[in-house]
Amino acid sequence: MKFSLIWAALVNPSKLFSTALTLIVVDRRPDTGTSSDASFYPPLDAISYITNAKHGTYGGIFTAPADEETEKIDGTYNYCTMPHPSPDLYQLPSPVREGSVEAQLIYVEYMQRHQRRTPYNILPGGEDQEYHCDNVHITAGSSSADSSLIPVPMYTETYKDSKNPFTRQYVNGTCQYPQLTLGGVLDGYRHGRDLWAVYGEQMKLLPSSPDTNNVWFRASSSPLTHASASAVLRGIWPDYDGSLPLHQQAAGIDTVDQGFPCPSRSQLLSTIQSTDEWNQHLAATQDLRDRLAIMFNANRTDWMSTFDHFADNFQGRLCNGYRLPCSLDDPSKCAMEDDAYAVFRAGDWEWNYWWNRNQKASHYIQLTEGLFLQEIALRLTAIKEGTLDRVYSHTFIHDGDLGPILGALGIQQLRWPGMAANIAFEVWYVKYSVGPSDLIWKSSPDFLTRQTSDSEFYVRVLYSGHPLRTSEGKLDWVPFSKLIQRLNKHVPQDIVGMCSS
């Protein structure tokens, strides 16, 4: 692989530098409020964000067509189809763009939530609309790895049996909830085409065919992320005619999607959800929750204790061309747009509280995502040290994974990471640099050593296509070791012990 030779020469000097170099280059230009990523960072510290109906969707988009790809994906927060690196949105990191460094992109660690889908949570009183999925074929099969047994290619087809008496209290339709909708599948294909345009055509990083020696794919054990991977990877490599390995860990101990057992994780969540601040947000939304509970027969702890289920149900509808639900008992009572927007704002507030704002967020992140954060940190380090020959890893996961990862990175405000929300860790190898970094180098004690090399590794973190805004500025150009330190702050020393205690 092409970087191995230079690496061999650079590993040692760069190791010497990384400890002494403490500069974190961040973009501190004031936020004018007009940039397309402003919709990602609402005032989530305030309960009034939830209760003030004037906030509406806070610039976000919560609707998408049923059976077509999302027409316009700009940089705006879009719950149904989050923006991603695309030719319209992608910019080189500012020092590279401004010419103060000459640098090459050598590796991308990409992770994303699956595309838009039907809901997990069917209204307890039953649904008044049918969901159609007969336009999507979910394929699956098993073959012997040596190809001696070629299976019949099969797809699943969900049907309804009119004799099944439970349909009325459930939902009448042809979906296997929470499966991807056709719109989700098409959005996935588009996501992949855009990734190719940026990291293939423009940056020349991705190989023209998926050579498994230097690209790697992983998913959670959920059929959703598997389905998403097959659509996105088809977008990246439209003409590839082989099959590809999608790596998974065993579901019961998976390091993503809360796979490994961790009783203390749920205990900690109960503590987090009993603070005064948490209770204030529940009190502020009591009327709304009571009204919805009566309308949809949903006065149950799982529907009332957080906004997860109502938000999931309403998003599933609006993001796939359906309308908001009405009561089955009294069709004149319906969830209104303002109700849905209040539910979505409350959902945003909760996500920010869980992964960012509460006092125990770091501990909660460790118990949930610490092992996956460690995998990322180790992989990035192996890339820097030249011990891993790879240009691209892509992991298909869930909102419940992206939340803690963004929390660990120090995101300024965390809105609920929408469908196909994504994070790209870009590793850049600096060939030559002038300007501010030189000043730092010259004033440091090991100036002489530093002068012998122009090399350094930097990382840029994009969240849904934009450099991630953190409390310390944008992660547009961060010394490699700084980023690893930040990730390692959330890597547990003894996760087995922490989880059982």
Binding mask 120-149 for ligand NAG (x = CB under 6 A): ----------x-------------------
Q: What is the DSSP letter of 180?
A: B
In the complex, minimum distance from the CB of residue 167 to ligand NAG, in angstroms, rounded to a whole number:
4
Among the listed ranges 58-66, 164-172, 310-318, 379-387, the one in contact with ligand NAG (CB under 6 A) is 164-172
User: Which residues contact residue 109 at a Cβ distance below 8 angstroms, ignoring those fewer than 6 apart?
Assistant: 376, 379, 380, 393, 424, 425, 427
Q: Could you tell me which stretch among 92-100, 271-279, 289-297, 447-455 binds ligand NAG (CB under 6 A)?
A: 289-297
Place of tokens 């996956």: 372
Per-residue binder mask for ligand NAG (CB under 6 A), 291-320, x = binder: --xx----x---------------------
Task: Return the number of the residue (102 or 130) whose C-beta is nearest ligand NAG.
Answer: 130
> Rounded CA gap, 336 and 243, in Å?
46
Query: Contact, 96 vs 103, CB < 8 A?
Result: yes
The interface region with ligand NAG, picked from 89-97, 167-175, 385-393, 396-404 by CB under 6 A, is 167-175
Q: Tell me, what amino acid is at 251?
A: A
Nearer to ligand NAG, 339 or 348 (CB): 339
> Roughly what angle, to the nearest 10 degrees, separates helices 361-385 and 263-272?
130
DSSP run (H or E) holding 105: strand 101-113
* CB-nearer residue toward ligand NAG: 97 or 160: 160
Instruction: Check residue 290 for interaction with ligand NAG (CB under 6 A).
Output: yes
Residue number with CB closer to ligand NAG (303 or 372): 303
Return the range that interacts with ligand NAG (CB under 6 A); candidates 246-254, 288-296, 426-434, 467-475.
288-296
Q: Which tokens sit at 374?
A: 């460690």
Binding segment toward ligand NAG, per CB under 6 A, in 222-230, 290-298, 317-325, 441-449: 290-298
Q: Which single residue is written with the structure tokens 């330190």? A: 485
* SS3 of residue 61 by DSSP: strand
Q: Least distance in Å: CB of 301 to ligand NAG?
A: 9
Nearest alpha carbon to residue 437 among 98, 71, 83, 56: 98
Choice between 294 and 324, CB closer to ligand NAG: 294
Length of the chain (residues) = 501
Draw the binding track, 239-278, toward ligand NAG (x: CB under 6 A; -: no contact): ----------------------------------------
* Torsion, Cα of 403, 405, 409, 412 (10° steps): -10
Burial 411-421 (b: 16+ CB within 10 A, else e): bbbbbbbbbbb
Shortest approach of ligand NAG to residue 294 CB, angstroms?
5
State how far the Cα of 221 lies from the Cα of 243, in Å rounded to an integer: 18
Selected from 172, 221, 381, 453, the binder of ligand NAG by CB under 6 A is 172
Contact status, residue 343 vs residue 291, Cβ threshold 8 Å: no
HSE-CB of 298 using CA atoms within 13 angstroms: 26
Query: Exposed e or buried b for every residue in 183-205, given b needs 16+ CB within 10 A?
Result: bbbbbbbbbbbbbbbbbbeebeb
Residue closer to ligand NAG by CB (options 142, 162) is: 162
CB 188 → ligand NAG: shortest distance, Å? 28
Task: Quote the least distance from Cβ 118 to ligand NAG, whole Å.
Answer: 16
Between 118 and 412, CB nearer to ligand NAG? 118
For 483, the enclosing helix (H) or strand (E) is helix 480-488
Written as six digits, the tokens of 352 are: 């920010």
The 78-107 contact track toward ligand NAG, x by CB under 6 A, reads ------------------------------
Question: Shortest distance, CB of residue 125 to ligand NAG, whole angstroms?
Answer: 13
Provide the minimum distance between the beta carbon of 174 and ligand NAG in the complex, in angstroms, as a whole number: 10
How many amino acids of this chain bind ligand NAG (CB under 6 A)? 8
Minimum CB separation from ligand NAG for residue 310, in Å? Answer: 14
Angle in degrees, CA 93, 94, 100, rounded to 5? 110
Residues 6+ away with beta carbon under 8 Å from 96: 102, 103, 428
Binder to ligand NAG among 167, 273, 275, 453 (CB under 6 A)?
A: 167
Secondary structure letter of residue 252 according to DSSP:
G
State how far the Cα of 140 lies from the Cα of 155, in Å rounded to an integer: 6
Residue 217: strand pairing partners: 394
Cβ distance to ligand NAG smaller for residue 293 or 382: 293
CB of 171 to ligand NAG, least distance (A): 9
Residue 431 in the binding site for ligand NAG (CB under 6 A): no
Interface with ligand NAG (CB under 6 A), residue from 137, 168, 247, 489: 168
If the CB atoms of residues 252 and 331 are measured against ligand NAG, the closer one turns out to be 331
219 - beta bridge partners? 396
Q: What tokens were used for 350? A: 């909760």
Q: Does 282 bind ligand NAG (CB under 6 A)?
A: no
Separation between Cα atoms, residue 243 and residue 248, nearest integer Å = 16
Binding residues (CB under 6 A) for ligand NAG: these are 130, 167-168, 172, 290, 293-294, 299
